[in-house]
Amino acid sequence: MRILGRRARTAAELERALERGGVAAEERESALARLKELGYINDAETARFRARARVGLGDAPRLAAKKLAAQGIEEAEARGAAAEASDGASEEELAARALRRKLRGREPADAREKQRLLRGLIAKGHRPAAAAKVLGIEWEGDDEIDDG
């Protein structure tokens, strides 16, 4: 219960914490089932909360979903939560929001800073073409992102 008191956890995160704490497999399974039954563990709600936070911090929905899946959320649920967090915004709108958040109302100083910002947006999972467009940079390269 102490682990859950700090912040919402996924069932997989709680499972790992209990395993690290030396709790036997049968006891872990029983405890997790009871916690789910009581509503203390809700992976769907945790996914929605975390996806909204990640997208709010500038991550593209595809990166937010990938991070959620790594935290033990089922892939389909992670994608759904990330899509919901984008509130129907296009990739360009999301990249523009991330850029505004980063720049805090100022314009990029020069072409060199624009290139740095482009790399940053791509690192946050935004497609290169969308990131380049919001920065006013010509993009003729591959638009695929290696999700591996």
Do residues 113 and 137 touch, judged by C-beta distance below 8 A? no
Prediction pTM value: 0.80
pLDDT of residue 39: 85
Q: For residue 21, is pLDDT > 70?
A: yes
Read off the amino acid at residue 64.
Answer: A
pLDDT of residue 8: 77
Whether residues 80 and 33 share a domain: the answer is no
DSSP state of 26: H
Range of the domain at 32: 2-41
pLDDT of residue 71: 92
pLDDT of residue 73: 94
Distance (Å, whole) CA 118 – CA 39: 42
For 10-39, what is the mean pLDDT? 90
Whether residues 99 and 74 share a domain: the answer is no
Whether residues 117 and 142 share a domain: the answer is yes
pLDDT of residue 5: 63
Q: How confident is the model at residue 67 (pLDDT cuts 50, 70, 90)?
A: very high
Whether residues 106 and 148 share a domain: the answer is yes
Do residues 82 and 64 touch, judged by C-beta distance below 8 A? yes
Whether residues 108 and 143 share a domain: the answer is yes
